[in-house]
Amino acid sequence: MSSSSPQRLIATRVGSLAVVDEGAGTAVVFWPSLFSDHRLFGHVCRLLGDGWRTLRIDGPGFGCSDPPRGDVQAGEYADAVLDVLDALGIDAALVAGCSWGGQIAVQAGVRHPHRVRGVLATNTPLEASHGGQPLEVLGTRWLGATEFWGRGVARAMLSAASRRAHPARVREFTRVFPDFDRRAAATTVRTVMGRFPGIEGVLPRLTVPATLLFGAEDRLCSLERMRLLARLAPTAMLEVVPACGHLAPLEAPEAVVAAVEALAARATPGKASGATRRLAAAETVTTPEPRLAQPGAGLPAVELFAARVLFGLRRLTGSRRSFDAHFTRERARIAALVHRCPVEAGACRVLIRRVAGLEDSSRFWSVWMTLDHLRIVHELLTQLVGELARGAAPPGAASTAAVKPSPAAGPEVVAAYEASCDALLAACAATPDLHTAARYPHPWFGPLDAAGWHALAATHLGVHRAQIERILRRSRSCSSASGPRARACSSVWPNLSTATAFPSASRCSRSILRAPATRSTTPSGS
């Protein structure tokens, strides 16, 4: 959450607020959650690009704004947002906030509809909180300016999938804690978590366009309860981000950017274009999560038995060279599929018929999510091969539930996936004898030495190559059909001859085929 942009202090009715003012175009005010400052929205602002004027505020108690003046409630901070707009000469703006910031955004939309064009509230508790969370207040009071406290907050706020998929973002989040004034932070935490009157009563008075965005894995907000409360807001759309916890701007910035763009379109008079209607239709269709088995549920019993028999036969009849060749072919086929995939289509999550060897919970992925899963597996197995070669098997066992991807994965994952393949190949090439004494258990196939993991690698890639093929076929069938889902998909399937963000498939395949035959790979479960 680093930021090199200069801040300016703007005098308001609640004291001076530190604001980062960047860009030109549609104005958007961003107010962060507790335990974060303007840097929480760094990824969002970078993804928004040109055509936006972003105003990122440090909430009192966190960052460079003045300390809170006692128990200041969200309504007073909402009024202060207007002071910021006045000072900067801005007539009207969208107001977006995360958690505590979302409460302020809703109040701003209710109290000042003539100045607030639309409201985006992400991960926002709507119910009252009276007298609770004393440990959080005391902990912030004594440890709130330490990375140790930040790591605990990250575990509570971020989903397990986000922490696993984006460790660098977790470090960004925790590194800012030493910059906070723990006494000022504790005052704000006490007010928000223990003396908040709730906003259920004001939701029916919200007349500007609004989006309420929640994480499906947010442990701090009951999704079912939030769904009930969201119905009180007549102009609000509810969106749910799968695998996201309590900090959507950090965990799923692409989803937040899409919500901001859609909100701006809804807030612009006379701009109910076909593109806007497609956005709304896509949100309506893709928001509900299909009912799938829990991650880690495994394969059906008969299929699992067959998989164990076939895998055993492959190990007996195959060789290191044949497994390398199979892996090389599957990697090249994936590269060719990705090369032909438009950027937007790669982000589309579609429900596919299950591929043999794929868990039920993995049927609702996008192309980028599939590559992100492969990246996670390869990075973990790069470490595993090295440890097995040294005779030091890690404790515990591999878990298919622990390698699920982030729904926020974007086209940047292509390069990360390729790099993880190269790193894994290098680790295996450095192991002359993969028949190691140390073993590490796979949840389906039992304890495996490095040679066993190597034998599983090509099959694992083949399963996910077939998954990508089905995702792309399903996306294309949606675009050629009719109805809301088809309209949503048609915009992301332009002519496949258009340029994409990926390297040439043939060039990528050539680089793969140049890899020495002695290299090996070791994927895990799907």
Helices marked H in 40-146 = 42-48, 74-88, 100-111, 134-143
Last residue of a domain, one of 286, 317, 352: 286
Domain boundary among 251, 286, 321: 286
Do 363 and 493 belong to one domain?
A: yes
* pTM strictly above 0.85: no
In this structure, are strands 195-196 and 93-98 parallel, antiparallel, or unpaired? Answer: unpaired
- For residue 113, which of 200, 30, 28, 207 has the smallest C-alpha distance? 207
Q: Are 91 and 238 in a shared domain?
A: yes
Whether residues 416 and 446 fall in one domain: yes
Q: How far apart are CA 313 and CA 311, in angstroms?
A: 5
Both 461 and 319 in one domain: the answer is yes
DSSP state of 121: E
Residue 160: exposed, middle, or buried by beta-carbon count in 10 A (0-12, 13-18, 19+)?
middle
- The upper half-sphere exposure of residue 420, i.e. CA atoms within 13 Å in the direction of its Cβ, equals 22
Q: Is 150 exposed, middle or buried (0-12, 13-18, 19+ CB in 10 A)?
A: buried
Domain with residue 390: its CATH number is: 1.20.120.450
- Assess if residue 44 is contained within a domain: yes
Q: Where are the beta strands (DSSP E) in 256-385?
A: 350-351, 364-365
Beta strands, E only, 146-217: 195-196, 210-215
What range defines the domain where residue 21 resides?
8-129+197-286
Give which of 464, 469, 517, 458 is closest to 311, Cα–Cα: 458
Contact criterion met (CB below 8 Å) for 450 and 434: yes
| Confidence at residue 494, expressed as pLDDT on a 0 to 100 scale | 39
**Residues 16 and 90 reside in one and the same domain:** yes
Does residue 257 sit in the same domain as residue 307? Answer: no
Residues 413, 281 within the same domain: no
CB atoms within 10 A of CB 231: 11
Indicate the number of domains in the chain: 2
Burial of 507 (0-12, 13-18, 19+ CB in 10 A): exposed
Q: Are residues 229 and 313 in the same domain?
A: no
pLDDT value for 485: 40
pLDDT of residue 492: 43
Do 509 and 415 fall within a single domain? yes
φ and ψ of 366, to 5 deg: -100, 175
SS3 of 325, please? helix
Query: Token digits for 403?
Result: 């390698």
User: Looking at the domain assignment, is residue 192 inside a domain?
Assistant: no
The rounded distance, in Å, linking the Cα atoms of 219 and 158 is 9
392 plus 475 within the same structural domain: yes
Torsion, Cα of 515, 165, 46, 37 (10° steps)? -150
Q: What angle do CA 516, 518, 521 make, to 5 degrees?
A: 100
Per the structure block, which two tokens stand in for 23?
A: 């860009």
Read off φ and ψ for residue 493, nearest 5 degrees.
-120, 70
Per-residue pLDDT of the chain (526 residues; tens, 9 = 90+): 545 568 899 999 999 999 999 999 999 999 999 999 999 999 999 999 899 999 999 999 999 999 999 889 999 999 999 999 999 999 999 999 999 999 999 999 999 999 999 999 999 988 887 665 678 888 898 998 899 999 999 999 999 989 998 999 999 999 999 999 999 999 999 988 888 888 888 899 999 999 999 998 898 887 777 777 788 888 888 888 888 999 999 999 999 999 999 999 988 765 443 333 333 333 333 344 577 888 888 889 999 999 999 999 998 998 888 888 888 889 899 999 998 888 778 888 888 989 999 999 999 999 999 999 999 998 888 888 889 999 988 887 788 878 888 887 888 899 999 998 888 888 888 899 999 999 999 999 999 999 888 888 888 999 999 999 999 988 765 444 444 344 444 444 433 333 333 333 333 333 323 333 333 333 445 6
> What is the distance between the alpha carbons of residues 230 and 208, in angstroms, rounded to a whole number?
14
**Strands, DSSP E only, in 216-344?**
236-241
236 belongs to a structural domain: yes
Q: 28 forms bridges with which residues in the sheet?
A: 54, 94
pLDDT attached to residue 477: 53
Give the integer Cα–Cα distance in Å for 195 and 290.
Answer: 37
Entry field: residues in the chain: 526
User: Which of 228, 259, 286 marks a domain boundary?
Assistant: 286
The closest alpha carbon to 474, from 363, 369, 359, belongs to 363
Q: Among candidates 94, 115, 110, which has minimal Cα distance to 203?
A: 110
Q: What is the dihedral of CA 59, 94, 244, 19, to 10 degrees?
A: -30
| CB-based contacts of 209, cutoff 8 Å, min separation 6 | 117, 118, 119, 235, 263, 266, 267
Residues 462 and 315 in one domain: yes
